[in-house]
Amino acid sequence: MLNQNSLVLCGATIGSINFEDLLTAAKTGRFDAISLMAVFYEDARSRGLSIKDMQLMLNDNGLVVAEVDALLSWLPGAAPDKNASEYEKISYSKSEDLFFEIADSFEARSMNIAQAWGPSFPVERTSEAFATLCDRAQEHNLLVSLEFLPWSGIPNLKSAFNIIKAADKSNGGLMIDTWHHHRSGGKPQDLWEIPGNKIISTQINGVLSEPWKDVVDETLSARLLPDQGVNDVVGFIKSLDKIGSQAPIGVEIFSNELFKLPIEEIGKTVGYSVQTVFEEARNANGN
């Protein structure tokens, strides 16, 4: 069973959509689980891999699927506009049914969702959509985590928490990505105001000292390792421990520089960085 001591490698970290590559990187980096994006699943199936094949590969590598990431089409009225990139359009096209299919196939712990486009809707409207999804997820024994994005209609921790609080679903909570939290002006201490059981998932990474003009371009190409950014990742983990969060520690690093490395090297590099901040935070906490 995954908990606050579990490490999760997110698919976006490896620079490909190859399922086998993700498993190789995760095993090499000594991760416990993976976060699986829909494109990895679709690519594997298109190459003839069955669900059973993929399950056996996970077992052989000592891994499980922690979450499916990230459903973007859950909120009516929040579709990409005509100027959106092909990547954005493809991401939005992945259906709710597909995400539940993936989650059921691998007995995932959670489903991550986000509002990537559109305006800031009233809390009542967004929380209703979130609650509806949580009700469906409950039938699949699945948790639902809401991720905030600085450029979106749900731009920060406070706005995301207001939504899940209004929805009031036992299987609904937050995904907190340290990149988005820092770029939205957040600090590790902000987590102290959140009940520990309402943080379902995390994604740690490092942030550049100077933001790019295009924040979306930066988030998709210039993240740093967790021990290399100006943001306080150690303090973030310590804050999670302080509030009693049992969320697994995920790592998501969109990085053009990291993507240049061989897949095994990506796993080793990321795994070492995560272990470095993880151990520093836990030793400081006396764990």
Convert the pLDDT of each residue in 48-84 to its tens digit.
999 999 999 999 999 999 999 999 999 999 988 877 7
Q: What long-range pairs does 209-216 form, CB within 8 A, spacing at least 24? A: 211/183, 215/150, 215/151, 215/183, 216/151
Instruction: List b or e across 171-181, with b for residues whose CB sees 16 or more CB atoms inside 10 angstroms.
Output: bbbbbbbbbbb
Letter for the amino acid at 212?
W
User: Where does residue 81 rank: exposed (0-12), middle (13-18), buried (19+ CB within 10 A)?
Assistant: exposed
- Which CATH number is 7-284 given? 3.20.20.150
pLDDT level of residue 157 (50, 70, 90 thresholds): very high
Residue 44: the pLDDT is: 98
Q: What is the mean pLDDT of the segment spanning 259-286?
A: 92
pLDDT over threshold 80, residue 85: no
Domain boundaries, the chain: 7-284
pLDDT over threshold 80, residue 225: yes
Q: Report which secondary-structure segment, H or E, holds 52.
A: helix 51-60
Angle subtended at Cα 148 by Cα 127 and Cα 31, rounded to the nearest 5 degrees? 115
pLDDT over threshold 70, residue 198: yes
Q: What is the mean pLDDT of the segment spanning 234-248?
A: 98
Q: 86 vs 31, which has greater pLDDT? A: 31
Separation of alpha carbons 235 and 229, rounded Å: 13
Give the rounded percent of residues in the chain with a pLDDT score beyond 70. 99
Mean pLDDT of the chain: 96
Residue 218: the pLDDT is: 92
pLDDT over threshold 60, residue 287: no
Q: What is the mean pLDDT of the segment spanning 146-158?
A: 97
Residue 52: the pLDDT is: 98
Separation of alpha carbons 196 and 94, rounded Å: 30
